[in-house]
């Protein structure tokens, strides 16, 4: 029997997504057992799930280790993997935003120092505005960069804005809205088309009922 | 000189098979230098798959490049004439890999048909694309789209240059949800564009879906041409799965008509890519048209793992008698089996049998059969 390999993002979002897959007819009860396993298989249902780091899902799918997966729009825009983006799951909703100290005033006369994990998204955004910037790539705790004078602004994901507020920062501009997407490997989509379409339609129905 | 075909790697065997296929259909080999004038690529940067080009200064001070592409060189060397030139090539190109972001040497085979291109030439090239896939693997698919059709739709909808770029990216990614939002923001009927992102298991459904939303003009003319080409191709008795997928249009900056990509099961990237590129010819101030494709043979090798049980048939251990070692290895290998002569057993080598030359003669130390 043909199996479909699914890369799920580890964490709360991944668990919600798994429930949607289960309701779509692709259950794998062993995934809910408390253990540290990362690969789960239900041969009868023709599905194999992997838990992977959310930012790695797109790599697994692009390189064909997984046929499909669920990745955030932020990751897809940052790494631009060559995959199909089949469905907006309307989950994990947040936005990519520019944030700065409350009293920050942008001086167009000087180079803007931007701290971010998302260097491509930030570069593209400011290039479109023809703004001269100095990108500072950080891997975490981005919020402290403006406080310590490392940067003028940050470009990061904002969900509720609570972390920003607690660090005396506030969102200044929204770059784009973010949500989780169902992605597929282009080659797998040709050879496992029926299965992948069954998953997509099953998930799509639930996206509608959640609205 | 006899060649032991079992020694050829999958991509090496494919090169020979494809060369033979293209020759059979009247294509002649085009051999080119490893280096080209850098200027050629800079003038046509949009056409290149990756931005990076490896350059060096030649002894005469001219800036040269390790060729990142073959098609541009072929066009550069072809002449505008009344006839049709049919060429094939087998070359290495040097470009930045999309996944590793580092330079890679990529073995590429392909063909180009340049001149007065009509439907026959397009169909012949497509049929050779199908045959190429059949030659290198058993479970393959060829997806087809038509850039002229999509552009005619964009023209009918009067999309601005910026909007075309965004819409093209969403169509390429089959991103229907974001495409609908974009249409709504820009006052475009979503159905007119989402028709190009949908999945059509049956090719007729794809053609009918376009006819349902576009009723006249250049879109239907292009659709008719696409349908004719597809029907000719469908009549070939081939095991290759043919798919109408309007989304495989790339950046559309140099293609003008039919475009296609070939896939092999269990290989994650396209192994074949091509189309009719009259627009590129025009950009290069040529009056002729052109159609062609490339087969990326490194993809075949990358996913072809050897299943051989043993690295070598016999390991032959010898003592002080060098003459006996030479004679015995010749005797053992004359039957076609592989023999490694060594003083001691090599580490991590999987061998079928271990023999030793002793004073008494040849002794079997152990066998793994």
- Give the Cβ contact number of residue B266 at 10 Å: 12
Decide if B267 and A187 are in contact by the 8 Å CB cutoff.
Answer: yes
CA torsion through residues B70, B71, B75, B81, sign: positive
Cβ contact, residue pair B243, A190, below 8 Å: yes
| Contact list, B268 vs chain A (CB under 8 Å) | 62-64, 185-188
CATH of domain A94-178: 3.40.190.10
Q: Dihedral sign, CA of B277, B283, B288, B293?
A: negative
Contact across the interface for A187 and B269, Cβ inside 8 Å: yes
What is the domain range of residue B181?
Answer: 5-306
Same domain, yes or no, for B28 and B109?
A: yes
Give me the sign of the Cα torsion angle B33, B35, B37, B42. positive
For residue range B163-213, what is the model confidence (pLDDT) as tens digits? 999 999 999 999 999 999 999 999 999 999 999 999 999 999 999 999 999
Reported as type and span, the H/E element at residue A4 is strand A4-9
Residue A188 to residue B268, Cβ atoms within 8 A:
yes
- Tell me if A190 and B99 make a contact (CB, 8 A cut-off): no
Nearest chain B residue to A90, by CA: B177
Task: Kindly state whether residues B273 and B330 are assigned to the same domain.
Answer: no
Least Cα separation, residue A185 to chain B (angstroms)? 7
Cβ of A74 under 8 Å from any chain B Cβ? no
Contact with chain A for residue B302, Cβ under 8 A: no
Inter-chain CB proximity B199 and A193 less than 8 Å: yes
- Interface TM-score (ipTM) > 0.85: yes
Name the residue with tokens 């005469």. Answer: B60
Q: What is the model's pLDDT at position B32?
A: 83
* Gap between the Cα atoms of B261 and B141, Å rounded: 8
Task: Considering only the beta carbons, identify the residue of B99, B175, B265 that sits closest to A63.
Answer: B99
| Region A74-87 average pLDDT | 95
- Give the CATH number of domain A4-92+179-204; options: 3.40.50.1820, 3.40.50.300, 3.40.190.10, 3.90.550.10: 3.40.190.10
Q: Which residues on chain B are in Cβ contact (under 8 Å) with A87?
A: 176-177
Average pLDDT over residues B218-243: 93
Is residue B317 domain-shared with residue B243, that is, in the same domain?
Answer: no
Together in a domain, B299 and B314: no
pLDDT on residue A8: 96
Same domain, B182 and B224: yes
Q: Are residues B288 and B342 in the same domain?
A: no
Q: How far is B201 from chain A (nearest CA, A)?
A: 8
Q: Is the separation of the CB atoms in B140 and B240 below 8 Å?
A: yes
Q: Scanning the structure block, which residue is given the tokens 């004078």? A: A149
Overall pTM surpassing 0.90 (yes/no): no
In chain B, the number of structural domains is 2
Q: Backbone phi, then psi, for B35, in 5-degree steps? A: -110, 150
How far B97 CA sits from the closest chain A CA (Å)?
12
Tokens representing A47 are: 């599905």
Helix (H, G, I), strand (E, B) or coil at A27: coil
A83 touches chain B (CB under 8 A): yes
Tell me how far apart the alpha carbons of residues A140 and A161 are, in angstroms, rounded to a whole number: 16
Residue appearing with tokens 């790339």:
B250
B267 part of contact set with chain A, CB < 8 Å: yes
- Any bridge partners for residue B93, and if so which? B106
pLDDT at B304: 64
Six-digit token string for A96:
């990519």
Least confident stretch, A85-94, A142-151, B61-70, B297-306:
B297-306
* Residues B204, B96 share a domain: yes
Tell me the nearest-neighbour CA distance from A83 into chain B, angstroms. 6
pLDDT band of residue B307 (cuts 50, 70, 90) is low
Q: Do A88 and B177 touch (CB under 8 A)?
A: yes
pLDDT at B184: 95
């Amino acid at each position: 029997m043909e199996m479909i390999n699914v890369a799920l993002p580890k964490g709360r979002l991944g668990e919600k997504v798994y429930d949607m897959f289960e309701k779509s007819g692709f259950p794998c009860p062993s995934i809910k057992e408390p253990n540290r396993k990362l690969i789960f298989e239900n041969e009868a249902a023709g599905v194999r799930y992997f838990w992977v780091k959310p930012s790695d899902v797109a790599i697994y799918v692009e390189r064909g280790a997984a046929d499909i997966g669920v990745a955030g729009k932020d990751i897809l825009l940052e790494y631009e993997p060559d995959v199909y983006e089949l469905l907006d799951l309307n989950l994990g909703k947040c936005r990519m935003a520019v944030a700065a100290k409350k009293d920050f005033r942008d001086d167009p006369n000087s180079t803007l120092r931007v701290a971010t994990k998302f260097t491509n998204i930030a570069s593209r955004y400011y290039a479109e505005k023809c703004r001269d910037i100095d990108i500072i790539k950080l891997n975490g705790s981005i919020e402290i960069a403006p406080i310590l004078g490392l940067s003028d602004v940050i470009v990061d994901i904002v969900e509720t804005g609570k972390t920003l507020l607690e660090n005396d920062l506030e969102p200044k501009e929204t770059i784009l809205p973010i949500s989780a997407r169902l992605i597929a490997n282009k080659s797998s989509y040709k050879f496992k088309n029926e299965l992948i379409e069954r998953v997509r339609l099953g998930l799509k129905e639930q996206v509608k009922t959640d609205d | 000189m006899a060649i032991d075909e079992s020694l050829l790697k999958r991509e090496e065997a494919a090169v020979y098979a494809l060369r033979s296929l293209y020759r059979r259909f009247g294509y002649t080999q085009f051999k080119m230098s490893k280096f080209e004038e850098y200027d050629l690529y800079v003038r046509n940067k949009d056409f290149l798959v990756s931005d990076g080009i490896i350059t060096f200064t030649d002894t005469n001070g001219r800036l040269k490049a390790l060729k990142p592409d073959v098609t541009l060189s072929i066009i550069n060397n072809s002449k505008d004439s009344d006839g049709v030139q049919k060429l094939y090539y087998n070359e290495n190109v040097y470009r930045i890999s999309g996944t590793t972001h580092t330079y890679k040497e990529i073995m590429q085979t392909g063909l180009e048909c340049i001149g007065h291109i009509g439907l026959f030439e397009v169909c012949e090239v497509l049929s050779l694309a199908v045959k190429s896939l059949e030659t290198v693997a058993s479970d393959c698919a060829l997806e087809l789209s038509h850039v002229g059709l999509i552009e005619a739709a964009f023209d009918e909808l009067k999309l601005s240059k910026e909007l075309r770029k965004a819409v093209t990216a969403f169509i390429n990614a089959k991103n229907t949800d974001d495409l609908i939002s974009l249409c709504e923001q820009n006052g475009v009927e979503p159905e007119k564009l989402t028709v190009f992102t949908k999945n059509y298991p049956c090719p007729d459904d794809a053609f009918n879906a376009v006819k349902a939303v576009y009723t006249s003009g250049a879109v239907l003319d292009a659709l008719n041409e696409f349908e004719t080409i597809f029907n000719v191709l469908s009549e070939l008795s081939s095991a290759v799965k043919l798919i109408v997928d309007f989304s495989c249009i790339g950046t559309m900056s140099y293609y003008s008509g039919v475009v296609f990509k070939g896939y092999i099961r269990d290989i994650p990237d396209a192994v074949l890519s091509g189309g009719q590129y009259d627009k590129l010819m025009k950009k290069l101030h040529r009056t002729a048209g052109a159609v062609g494709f490339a087969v990326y043979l490194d993809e075949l090798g990358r996913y072809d793992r050897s299943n051989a049980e043993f690295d070598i048939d016999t390991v032959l251990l010898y003592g002080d008698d060098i003459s006996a070692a030479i004679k015995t290895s010749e005797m053992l290998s004359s039957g076609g089996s592989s023999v490694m002569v060594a003083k001691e057993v090599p580490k991590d080598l999987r061998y079928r049998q271990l023999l030793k030359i002793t004073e008494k003669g040849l002794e079997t130390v152990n066998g793994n059969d």
